[in-house]
Amino acid sequence: MSAERDLRLTARLALADGTVLRGRGFGAEGAAAGELCFNTAMTGYQEILTDPSYAGQIVTFTFPHIGNVGANPEDEEAEGAAALGAVVRDDPTEPSNWRSARPFAEWMRARGLIGIGGVDTRRLTRSIRTKGMPHAVIAHRADGAFDEAALVAQARAFPGLVGADLARDVTTPVRYDWHGGPWVWPNGFDGSPAHRRRVVAVDYGAKRNILRRLEAAGCEVIVAPARTTAAEIKALNPQGLFLSNGPGDPAATAEYAAPMIREIVETTGMAVFGICLGHQMLGLALGARTVKMNHGHHGANHPVKDLETGKVEITSMNHGFAVDAQTLPDSVIETHVSLFDGSNCGLRMRDRPVFSVQYHPEASPGPQDSHYLFDRFVAAMG
């Protein structure tokens, strides 16, 4: 097919099944192939697009008004953009918020993020829920000229996330000390509190606000690369080990992460806490398996039931794989489940201070129902 040109429709979203959606481009120009998912959060689009867990993915926002409060450096969860691009219904407007430092489209362009507006995101979301997360290409050209057949071919050539160890691409290359507490109205980021416990946080794609919540709970946080060994962790003399969120197939990352976690659990009395990919890493290290989900959980309004207390928490989630609860060994208790589909959302060991959750208790973006888990982690260190 020859290149098609439409100066009004300067973006394309091409799916591997041959579907091509035309829209108005914003942000960076270019083309990127990845897995297409949807996110139901009404706020926090900056936090979402800079969450390293979205590496290799294109995000469809179900909330129509994305970009209306602009962008600022305080709401970024990592140094570089993590997602590949954003699909929205309404074109971003001029910002209307006192915290805005620049328009959303300008921030997207600076971050290398591709945007397409004017898309029927409800139709797209229903399709993803029914058929699963497709491979797709998002493309933006100011001249409106596209070879749509080539874009579809590019989407079909995308290898997918199964078997992909993406943590290696987003982890810190060197160990460093984290400093800084959470954002507090009206002054911004809070200073560091007194440190009561030392924690090594293994970075599989850690969000900044998780590190801030650990510090707020009284932890001295040392951030370590994904391939850090058990011996290197022990040498730092921590009281706790934290396993961060991150992207990709947990089984691929677990090839080197699970042996380290297993050694820490079996040879020390150290408290261990995992979130998201860290939850999956812990599950795999303890003998469970993980499975690819149809359309995953992405949003800030997911109800999760604590099976031990009976309480329901509204949580923030971002994951396309899940721990298979049926494969948990007898030494591990399932503690939380999703009230959307019954999938596993938490576990703990029966006889050791080791636990994890699938969701994001740091609430960035999202509700703060689960902040208590950081205090539970500190208490588990004794």
102 torsion bin: left (phi>0), alpha (psi -120 to 50), beta (else): beta
Domain boundaries, position 153? 4-157
Q: How many domains does the chain have?
A: 2
- Asked whether residue 125 carries a pLDDT value surpassing 60, the answer given is yes
User: Of residues 192 and 295, which shows the higher confidence score?
Assistant: 295
- pLDDT, residue 5, reads 62
User: CATH no. for residue 291?
Assistant: 3.40.50.880
Whether residue 134 sits in one domain with residue 63: yes
319 is an active site residue: no
Question: What would the mean pLDDT of 94-118 be, rounded to a whole number?
Answer: 96
Q: Residue 196: its pLDDT value, please?
A: 85
* 95/179 same-domain check: no
pLDDT tens column, 64-98: 999 999 999 999 999 877 899 999 999 999 999 99
Q: Is residue 74 among the annotated active site residues?
A: no
Same domain, 144 and 176: no
Distance CA 176, CA 222 (A): 6
Clarify whether residues 145 and 220 are in a common domain: no
Same domain, 175 and 299: yes
Q: What single letter denotes the amino acid at residue 20?
A: V
Domain-located, residue 162? no
Cα(260)–Cα(291) distance, rounded to whole angstroms? 22
106 and 180 together in one domain: no
Write down the catalytic residue from 140, 279, 336, 360.
Answer: 360
Domain match, 63 and 195 both: no
Same domain, 90 and 119: yes
Q: Is 37 a catalytic residue?
A: no
For residues 236 and 349, membership in a common domain is answered with yes
Catalytic residue among 276, 279, 319, 345: 276
| Mean pLDDT value across residues 40-64 | 97
The pLDDT confidence band at residue 2, using thresholds 50, 70 and 90, is very low
| pLDDT over threshold 70, residue 270 | yes
Which percentage of the chain shows pLDDT scores above 90?
Answer: 92
Q: Which regions of 226-342 does DSSP assign to beta strands (E)?
A: 240-243, 271-275, 290-306, 312-323, 332-338
Looking at the structure, tell me whether residues 232 and 373 fall in a common domain: yes
The last residue of one of the domains, among 157, 182, 209, is: 157
- For the chain, the maximum distance between any two Cα atoms, rounded to a whole number of angstroms, is 67
Section 325-334 average pLDDT: 98
Among candidate residues 157, 176, 203, the one where a domain is terminated: 157
